[in-house]
Amino acid sequence: AAQDAVDPTRLVDAFEASFGKYEGYRRSGAKGVCARGEFVGSADGRALSTSSAFSGRPVPVIVRFSVGGANPRAADNAKGQRNLALQFNLPDGEVWQMGNISAPVFGAENPAQFLGRVESLRPDPATKAPDPARVKAFADANPQVLLQGQYFMRQPVPASFAGVNYWGVHAFGFVDGRGTTQWGKWVFEPVGGTLGLSDDEAKARGPNFLADELRERVKAKPPVFDFVLQLAQPGDRLDSAVTPLPEDRRRLSLGQLTITGVAPDGGGDCLAITFNPMVLPKGIQPSADPMLAARAAPYAVGLGRRLVEGPKQ
């Protein structure tokens, strides 16, 4: 809706003012590693959507794992967000991009609220830290912005980029050959289960282990994620990134993503890609979630800035 519209430049400027400006790095998910994978769709995927992603033939995927936030030196051994961004390279040049996060909810329900939250976290020039009274006042008036952080505090520090669930958070429509749309929300789940560290283990691991851990893991045995869709029922909210579907909704595996290689350094195919979740293949539809459409323009702004600066990671 028009009242939800927020200038994309203003959003990226607010990120830089509140979280820091690190030239060449993504303004969000700055610390990351590029990888490659292969996706093989399932019969359930083919039944739900005409997308060629689910043909059953292997599809090459560009993969980027990252730690949440704007800081390229973020600690790997702290609780918080991890990301799984994907670009499916489908036949005939078609692509499917997505950016998934390690929580079932996002930190705001519409772009204006997100901008307000980010602005409330801007450091006070005098103290160089956010003003606790301002942060509290905004969160008290907008309690949805606390849900994601509360989720992360209940989870252990991930032991591996391949040991955590990654949710799409938004609803998407899966359109079959008769034109029928099934709405749902997805999550990528490691087939080997989630892997967490105790507080002592996290301390012993130090702040930089996730990229090398992934390289070693992939060399030993390529990790596999199930692409699981939770099916919405009539009446379920399809427009809210802070409202998961009810837990009892049916779940289907749309296929499996295998991670087959990891870049040896900060380079790789990801550098010039922004993972815009509105880039969808035929057979997949965006929902009316205002947070979904609002991502496209700021990602392009962010990509433009870091390309000019000289892209890193």
Interacting residues with ligand HEM (CB under 6 A): 11-12, 26-29, 32, 64, 66, 83, 85, 99-101, 106, 111, 114, 169, 241, 274-275, 291, 294-295, 298-299, 302-303, 306
- Which residue type is seen at 303? L
Specify the residue, 12 or 238, whose C-beta has the smaller distance to ligand HEM. 12
Retrieve residue 286's tokens: 């965006």
φ and ψ at residue 181, rounded to 5 degrees: -105, 125
CB-nearer residue toward ligand HEM: 46 or 289:
289
Backbone angles phi, psi at 248, to 5 degrees: -80, 5
Taking the least distance from each CB to ligand HEM, the nearer of 50 and 270 is 270
**Least CB distance from residue 25 to ligand HEM, whole Å?**
8
Least distance from ligand HEM to the Cβ atom of residue 130, Å: 18
Could you give the C-alpha distances from 208 to 103, 110, 202, 205, in angstroms and in order? 22, 33, 11, 8
CB atoms within 10 A of CB 113: 21
Smallest separation, CB 114 to ligand HEM (Å): 5
Query: Token digits for 74?
Result: 């973020």
Closer by beta carbon to ligand HEM, 24 or else 156: 24
Tokens of 53: 């992603």
Q: Give the C-alpha separation, 55 to 172, whole Å.
A: 19
Q: Which is nearer to ligand HEM, 170 or 217 (CB)?
A: 170
Backbone angles phi, psi at 136, to 5 degrees: -70, -40
H-helix segments, the chain: 8-19, 43-48, 111-120, 132-141, 147-154, 199-205, 210-220, 290-309
Is 151 labeled as ligand-binding? no
Least Å distance between CB 152 and ligand HEM?
13
Shortest Å, Cβ 284 to ligand HEM: 16
* Distance of closest approach, residue 234 Cβ to ligand HEM, in angstroms: 25
Cβ distance 11 to 111 under 8 Å? yes
- Which is nearest to 252 in space by CA: 230, 269, 272? 230
172 or 275, CB closer to ligand HEM? 275
Which residues participate in the annotated binding site for heme?
299
Which residues participate in the annotated binding site?
299
